[in-house]
Each structure stands twice: as C-alpha cells, then as structure tokens.
Structure 1
Amino acid sequence: MVPKVDAFRTGDVLNGRQTMPPGSFLAHLPPDAWPLLVSSCGSDSRVYQRDEELPIGPADEQVHIVLGGCVRQERHPFGTAEGAPKITRFRGVGQLLGEAKLIEPHAAVRTTCLTTTWVMPCPVPRMNLMLRRHPHIQLALLRSLEDRNRTDEMIYGTMTRMPLARVGALLVHLAEVAGTVDSADPGHLTVLGPSQKDIAEALLLGVSTVENALRLLREPPRGGNPLRRGVLRSGYRKFVVTDLHALRTVAEFS
C-alpha cells in the first residue's frame, strides 16, 4: 500500500513528476525506467519513523531507494568497540542504499532515519536481474555512485579547509538532498533530523567547533562581508537555510 504521509508528495514521486536531487540514482535514471521499478517494488514501499533503523544488516536481502526523508549511515571499519573510529555519512532523496549487497549479500551498514523517511525496498535478486536486463538502469546506478563518491570527497574529505566552509558545505548538501520548502517561506529550505553531534562526527570535528561555525552562520550581517552571516536558523535537530546562494558562497570561499 502506498504510504499516506502528508510530508511526501507520493503521487508526484511514484509518477515520476518530482525532480530528484542532481547526482542521485533517480536523477540519473531514464524516465522510462522508473515505472519498471515502481511496478516491481513500489507496492512494498513503507515509511520509517525518526531513529528507526533500515533493515540493511547481514541477514537482510534488500536494497532501499529513498523516496523521502534523510538517513545517517555509519560504518565501523575497525570494529564497534567503544572509542573505535567510525565513518558517518548522510543520504537523502533519490539515493539507493545498501548497494554493496548487490555484490556481497552479507554486506551491512547501520542506517538510521533522521526524520520520517519513505523508502522503496527491492529484493537483491530482483534488483540484480533488473540491472542485467536493463543496462540503462545499471548505468544510472554506476553514475550515481561515482557522483556520490565525488560529493563525499568534497564534503567529508577536505580536512584542510576551515571548519566554517566544511560545515557550510555539508548544510548546502543536506538542503539540496533533504530540504523541504515551507509555503509560508518559499525561499527557505528546512532540514530536519541531523544534530550538531551528527555533523561533528561526520566531519570529524569537535562539537564546540561545529557550534561556533553554526553561530557564525546564524549571526545577522555586519561589517564588510554580509555573505558570511545570517544565512541559517537552527533549533533542535532542525536547520533552516534562509539563503542557499549565500550559504554556498560561504562554503566555497571561507
């Protein structure tokens, strides 16, 4: 049954009328391929609530396409002992999650919903069969993974950049892949879910460093460079980007 959730434009998504974030799997997918996926897996789509985990564990046999919402993925390359390093990434609308299962069935990644999240699960055997039969779907997946790798490098791997630029770049990315528009403020993009701690872990920064960067982004314009101030409002697990263009400028030139 198609989920009836006010936060999602279910009809537009399932009928291919909603524009997907650039670089995502669904953005690369040719228009005539989306109905194939919907007819094959769309009836199994479901909604997970905030803090629920998606079933992408070793025993699970599905990949998931994000149709609405935002998730946090955590990998533990050195084990899960307390204090061990972990890799944190955010994924949003249009992304295919759990892609490693297409080549290694027991692959796993801890995937937690940061807000109400709508996904379309696809059994691994069915998805692999579809990829073999429809090379254009396979190409869309490969292109999206390459775009995702390049985006990850720019956002998470630029350790030598200033914290303000790095936090700004991540917020721009979140606004583009998980931001929603409020009809009362059509120029604003709201990102729900990530906390300051989540951002700090993803960027390998201290929480106090992230807090300071957010404070700079919240401050009203003053002095000689108005583009460095007043582009953000924030609350508990909520960020409102009030000027995406100015925030992108901060991320590029700070």
Structure 2
Amino acid sequence: MVPHIDAIRPADVLAGRQDMPLGTFMRYLPSGAWPLFVSAWGSDARMHARDTVLPIRPDDQFVHIVLGGCVSQERFLTGQEDEGPKVTRFRAAGQLLSEGKLIELPAVVRTTCLTDTWIMPCSVDRMNMLLRKHPDIQKALLRSLETRNRTDELIYGTVSRAPAQRVAGLLFHLARTAGVAGAPGTGTGAVVVGPSQKHLADSLQMGVSTMENALRQLRRPPGGQGSSKRGLVLSHYRRFVVTDLTALRAFAELPGHSDAF
C-alpha cells in the first residue's frame, strides 16, 4: 500500500497526469474539467516553504486549491485570531480551501504550510461562474466536502477511542494523503509525514502527556525492545515516519472501504 502523493511534480499536476488522493475535489473532477482551472489560474500557482503562513484573509476574494504538500488550518471560533477556542485540521493535495467564501461565509483561519506546499488561488467570482456553468464541477465540490466532513468525524471526532488509536488513525490518513514515500534513510515502504507532535496534539485536542504516551505505544517494536522489528511509527525532528501502513491502519481500526481511505 503506497501513498497517492509521493512528491510535488508540477508539470504532471498541471497536465492532469498525477493522481490526487481519494475523496478530494480534484479527484472527483469530471474528465476534461481540470484544463479549465489550469487555463484560468495555473500561472498564479505558487510554491510556499514549510512554516509559511499563507496570506489568506477573511475578506479576500479567493478560494485556494492545494496542488501539493500539506497545510494546517486553525479556525478561531470567536472570530478573533489567537483568542478563545480553535479547531485545527490538516488539508493536503487536491483539497479546496476557504470554500465558505463561495457563499459569503468568511472565517478567521490561519493556514500554515507543514511541508513545502503548492497553492493555486482562484477568484471567487470566476469560480462561482464556473460552478454555475458546469454542474458536474459543482457536484465534484459537494462530494468532496461531504467526504471531508465524514473523514473529519472519523479522524478527529471519535474521542471515545483510545488515544493511541486516534493518533494512529490521523497518521495513517496523513500518510495516505500527504506522505512522501522512499525518503532517504527511512527504509523500504516507509512514508514520511510532516506535522510535529504539537500539531498532532492540537488537532486531536490532546494534552502533551497523552500524546507522548500514545506515540510511545506506536513506537514500541512488536515483541518488546529486544525485537529486531521497528515500531509502527518512528519520531524525527518535526516529522514522523510510518513504517508499515497496513499495520498502522489495522491498529487504528479504520474502515477497509472509504473514499477517504
């Protein structure tokens, strides 16, 4: 089982030759639709380095498509940045961001690149025109948002599950949608994901000690410390290496058939 996105290949993405993760807006687009986006906004797509806070404001007139990489979105529920409760979610290649602006529902959201990330800004007026003219593109957007909602419920909302299972489920999801396979020194079949331990804790609303205990369990080699096998997850500086996707999915007890998985 290998991730859908191994690396950002701009020429392949713009030409429609690179598969996007299951359940995403770009994956649901009907045949022949993607060239319309490339013609309108392809030249505006920009690469942003890790840790860059994207210039996405509540009052701008753009939605954004993630063409490659992964971002963290912190939504501030009181409408004031860095004040009150917030919800953190990860979005990766193929996803549409700031979709509320299409129906004039702005929100205070801080979007930070967790890896080198390629973003295509799309003007709201022109996007709405495209959606009205092509109902099949509108359907693709609606399908992707519904899939994303269901995935969010499964990954972020199942608070009754064991912490280690919740962390395993999130890491598996990130590996499938934003992981990089075959990174040097990670071993055959391993997949690297970018979020830090703090990012994971914020998104799952876990305390530091709970997150550390969950990761310790996932790092433990099968059969104990003397075993020659590696744990399901290895920790590195500001990144994690998933050593066995199939075993991690089984540990998380995720469904076997889903648009998102």
TM-score in terms of structure 1 length? 0.90
Partner of 2:192: 190
Instruction: Say which is worse superposed, 77-86 or 207-216, in terms of deviation.
Output: 77-86
1:204 aligns with 2:191: no
Matched residue count: 243
Letter in 2 for 1:190: V
CA contact (8 A) 2:76 2:82 kept: no
Partner of 2:244: 243
Cα distance in 1 between the residues matched to 2:128 and 2:78: 30
Query: 1:31: how far off?
Result: 2.5
Letter in 1 for 2:126: R
Output aligned runs, 1:1-254, within 5 Å: 8-80=8-80, 84-104=84-104, 106-182=106-182, 185-192=187-194, 194-222=195-223, 230-252=231-253
Partner of 2:259: none
Cα distance in 2 between the residues matched to 1:50 and 1:210: 23
Query: 1:132: how far off?
Result: 0.5
The change in CA–CA distance for 1:81 and 1:146 in structure 2 (over 3 A counts) is closer
Query: 1:99: how far off?
Result: 0.3
State the superposition RMSD in angstroms.
Answer: 2.0
Cα distance in 1 between the residues matched to 2:208 and 2:222: 24
Instruction: Say which is worse superposed, 102-111 or 75-84, in terms of deviation.
Output: 75-84
Instruction: Say which is worse superposed, 200-209 or 100-109, in terms of deviation.
Output: 100-109
CA deviation digits over 1:19-40, x for unaligned, max 9? 1111010111112101111111
Could you say what secondary structure the match of 1:187 adopts? coil
Letter in 1 for 2:250: T
CA deviation digits over 1:49-73, x for unaligned, max 9? 1222223212311111001111011
Query: 1:183: how far off?
Result: 6.3
The percentage of aligned residue pairs carrying the same residue is 61
Segments of structure 1 that go 5 or more residues without pairing to the other structure are: 1-6
Partner of 2:4: none
Cα distance in 2 between the residues matched to 1:238 and 1:186: 17
Letter in 1 for 2:249: R
Query: 1:108: how far off?
Result: 3.9
CA contact (8 A) 1:16 1:31 kept: no
CA contact (8 A) 1:70 1:117 kept: yes
The change in CA–CA distance for 1:83 and 1:207 in structure 2 (over 3 A counts) is farther
Segments of structure 2 that go 5 or more residues without pairing to the other structure are: 1-6, 255-261
The change in CA–CA distance for 1:210 and 1:196 in structure 2 (over 3 A counts) is same
Could you say what secondary structure the match of 1:37 adopts? helix
Letter in 1 for 2:208: V
Instruction: Say which is worse superposed, 53-62 or 41-50, in terms of deviation.
Output: 53-62
The change in CA–CA distance for 1:163 and 1:183 in structure 2 (over 3 A counts) is closer
CA contact (8 A) 2:165 2:251 kept: yes
TM-score in terms of structure 2 length? 0.87
CA contact (8 A) 2:74 2:111 kept: yes
Cα distance in 1 between the residues matched to 2:59 and 2:119: 19
